[in-house]
Amino acid sequence: MEPISLDETGLGPEAAEAPDGEILGKMIRDARKEKGLTLEEAAKAAAIGRSTLSKIENNQTRPSFEIIRRLMQTLELETPQLFVQSGQSGVTGRRDFTPSGSGEHKKTSTYDHELLCSDLTSKRMVPYISTIKARDVTEFDNWVRHQGEEFMFVLSGEVILYTEHYRPLRMGPGDSVYYDSGMGHGCVSTSVEDARVLWVSLEG
């Protein structure tokens, strides 16, 4: 792949645009719409400018990492795909769970996700392990939703899976569940130690 010269001068502003920037802007716009936020609201929540957000969504800028990080947080976007572009296909695997403390686990408020494959292009399912903080009593006024299906398997700890339309489901190691992830859902740990859950997510 040809590295893109960052320093092209004299060309039109939009002449040479980011290769996968296309995706980034759309993803963010979709996520914002999904949450029913206006530019103003989302921008304020992420502590960035309204115009900046607009430009990002329209791929008219190359945003900084920090800005994207805030947006991801605000929009509760989770996307390792963004970091991966072209893929070598075939077998990709991951050695056993990385012990926490290796620096890569920065955690969101409640979950700590670890992707189980390095490259997601050309893969339809997304496997990852979540470490769910112990005693995390979250109120589910904002459910997690993403169109598609999800399979969940409890590796360790005790969790309760809350869902929008069904009764909470108490689960322990070895228990599994399959549901439509378009339905609001959220998972909390009820065990003393953190719970570890394997998810396989399928978009669409």
Closest distance of CB 130 from a copy of itself, Å: 9
Rounded least distance, CB 115 to a copy of itself, Å: 7
Q: How far is CA 178 from the centre of its chain?
A: 19
What single-letter amino acid sits at 121? Answer: T
Instruction: Using CB under 7 A, pick the residue from 19, 30, 47, 88 that binds DNA.
Output: 47
Size of the site for a copy of itself (CB under 8 A): 110
CB of 133 to a copy of itself, least distance (A): 13
Contact 55, 84 (CB under 8 A): no
Is residue 7 a contact point for DNA (CB under 7 A)? yes
Find which of a copy of itself, DNA, none residue 82 binds, CB within 5 to 8 Å per kind. Answer: a copy of itself
Please enumerate in sequence order all residues whose Cβ is within 8 A of that of 142, keeping only pairs 6 or more positions apart, or say none: 76
State how far the Cα of 152 lies from the Cα of 3, in Å rounded to an integer: 39
Chain positions 144 to 183 lying near a copy of itself, rule: CB under 8 A, are 145-149, 151, 153, 161, 163-166, 169, 171-180, 182-183
Using CB under 8 A as the binding rule, whether residue 8 contacts a copy of itself is answered as no
Q: Are 81 and 113 in contact (CB under 8 A)?
A: no
Q: What is the DSSP string of 129-183?
A: EEEEPTT----TTS-B--SEEEEEEEEES-EEEEESSS--EEE-TT-EEEEETTS
Residue/partner pairs of 14-19 with CB below 8 Å, 24 or more apart: 14/60, 17/59, 18/59, 18/62, 19/85
- Among 1, 6, 137, 192, the residue binding DNA under the rule CB under 7 A is 6
| Residue pair 164/143 in contact by the 8 Å Cβ criterion | yes
- In the list a copy of itself, DNA, none, the entry touching 137 (Cβ below 5 to 8 angstroms by class) is none
Give the one entry of DNA, a copy of itself, none that residue 50 binds, where binding means its C-beta sits below a cut-off of 5 to 8 angstroms depending on kind: DNA
Residue 54 interacts with DNA (CB under 7 A): yes or no: yes
Q: Please, what is the minimum distance in Å from the beta carbon of residue 13 to DNA?
A: 6
Is residue 58 close enough to count as binding DNA by CB under 7 A? Answer: yes
Using CB under 7 A as the binding rule, the residues of this chain from 17 to 46 that contact DNA are 38-40
Q: Does 103 bind a copy of itself (CB under 8 A)?
A: yes
